[in-house]
Amino acid sequence: MNLSSRAQNVQASPIRKLMPYAIGAKAKGIKVYHLNIGQPDIPTPPQMIQVYHEFSDKVLAYGPSQGLDIYQGSLVRYYNKHDIKLEKRDIIVTTAGSEAITFAMLVVANEGDEIIVPEPFYTNYNGFATMVSINIRPITTHAEDGFALPDVSEFEKLINNKTRAIMLCNPGNPTGTVYSREDLIRIAELCKEHSIYLISDEVYREFIYDGLTHTSVLSLPGFEEQTIMVDSVSKRYSACGARIGCMISKNRAVMEATLKFAQARLCPPTVDQLAANACVYLPDSYFDEMVSEYQSRRDLVFEEISSIEGVICKRPSGAFYVVAKLPIEDAEDFVIWLLSEYHLDNETVMAAPAEGFYATPGLGRNELRLAYILNKEELKKAMKIFKEGLKEYRKIKK
């Protein structure tokens, strides 16, 4: 019997596929510093954990397909604080940001249609696109200029009769790049001109550094019919296991169609929505402290990377990732070597090869994504191992 073409073609996660090597290293008693995955180490807010402990309903029943009314109302309040004016009808709560992205793709594109995405991009966009039988059309950004967006004319060259949307991640995963309001307006104007959608993944909106501010596509006046935003609580509240996200648009037709997909999967998780609801009322100090901590981690990692001869890397302004172009040919081989053959004081490092974040074959082979999600003491150790390991690897590969 044959598998479906989707099953055969879906991409393996470049973030997780090298885990057997990490497991092998740990079996030898070697400590592995995981810089490969965006799992924050900041404690989940106790207000959220308390909801799980105190939930006492005798029946855990289905909830509304669009999400709990109380949580939708709280989200209206949350986004209002970020200059995004919404009504509850503009929001559909989803099972994590992953479902929100999948819904957005399903509602705007038919089988065989295309969505333009700047690469490198969050690798699971490839998986979601395969699941819904559409194609990612990549537009390449470069480490040398901090993965800035290409000129609008470069986007326009890719638009054809199968193009249904442009999708951005702001701040970017894996690059940490933050797009300006001017960037977004230029892309939104292009989408309006060609009657296509602008989908914005804003999961990392709080993680902005150096005094910059985040601009949401939903705060741009005059583009309501073009814009769709997807979001998640996973990173914001260090709650990746809660699996609560949302899809938002002021386009009535988009939301009415999306609700049908939401009804087909019945409802998002009830208790997790209640837990996420408790976090909407966290004080600003929670985010101030979190952002300050991540900015200091960013600075530590960037300074260490920048001190390595031959590495190309610009300081990222958001999220908690950095992509570095290394003076080697094969970053995946380097990561495997770190895990299977190298250790310093019985410790080693795991990172994510960046090739899997590109759709264009051959790009990113000498790039790595590092997630600075460890405390600074552990990051210092991890970066020392990384630097010494890279120096040793280059010697043996000459």
Of 230, 253, 279, at which residue does a domain stop? Answer: 279
Q: Are residues 210 and 230 in the same domain?
A: yes
One domain for residues 156 and 13: no
- CA pair distance 35, 15, nearest whole angstrom: 10
Pair (230, 191) in one structural domain:
yes
Question: What local confidence, expressed as pLDDT, does residue 17 receive?
Answer: 82
Q: What is the pLDDT of residues 309-341, one digit of tens each?
A: 999 999 999 999 999 999 999 999 999 999 999
Tell whether 275 and 289 lie within a shared domain.
no
> Residue 370 has which token pair?
């590092």
Out of 279, 303, 332, pick the residue that ends a domain.
Answer: 279
Q: Please tell me whether residues 230 and 108 are part of one structural domain.
A: yes
List the CATH number of the domain containing 58. 3.40.640.10
**Does 117 lie in the same domain as 28?**
no
**Share of the chain residues as helix, strand and coil, in percent rounded to the nearest 5:** 40, 15, 40
Q: The domain that contains 291 carries what CATH number? A: 3.90.1150.10
Percent of the chain with pLDDT over 70: 99
Q: Please choose, from the candidates 149, 166, 186, the residue with its C-alpha nearest in 3D space to the C-alpha of residue 114.
A: 166
- Asked whether residue 206 falls in the same domain as residue 186, the answer is yes
- The model's pLDDT over 346-383, given as tens digits with 9 standing for 90+, comes to 999 999 999 999 999 999 999 999 999 999 999 999 99
pLDDT at 216: 98
Number of domains in the chain: 2
Strands 321-325 and 245-248: unpaired
Strand-pair partners of 139 = 118
188 and 219 Cβ atoms separated by less than 8 Å: no
* pLDDT band of 398, cuts 50, 70, 90: confident
CA atoms within 13 A on the CB side of 37: 15
Whether 15 shows a pLDDT value over 90: the answer reads no
pLDDT of residue 9: 86
* pLDDT category of residue 81 using cuts at 50, 70 and 90: very high
d(CA 369, CA 16): 13
At which of 279, 299, 328 does a domain end? 279
Higher pLDDT, 274 or 8: 274
Together in a domain, 36 and 109: no
| 56's tokens | 């006492």
Pair (184, 56) in one structural domain: yes
Rounded-to-integer distance, Cα 62 and Cα 273, Å:
12
Whether the Cβ atoms of residue 25 and residue 385 lie closer than 8 Å to each other = no
Residue 309 is given by DSSP the state T
pLDDT confidence band for 10 (50 / 70 / 90): confident
186, 258: one domain: yes
* 13 has pLDDT over 80: no
pLDDT average, residue stretch 271-285: 96
- Looking at residue 311, its pLDDT comes to 97
Arithmetic mean of pLDDT over the chain: 96
d(CA 137, CA 166): 9
Q: Do 134 and 9 lie in a common domain?
A: no
**pLDDT of res. 212:** 95
Radius of gyration of the chain (CA): 21
d(CA 116, CA 129): 11
Task: Express each pLDDT in 98-126 by its tens digit.
Answer: 999 999 999 999 999 999 999 999 999 99
List, for residues 168-216, the tens digit of each pLDDT value: 999 999 999 999 999 999 999 999 999 999 999 999 999 999 999 999 9
Range(s) of the domain holding residue 258: 46-279
Is 220 within 8 Å of 184 (Cβ atoms)?
A: yes
The whole-model pTM stands at 0.96
Verify that 150 and 167 share a domain, yes or no.
yes
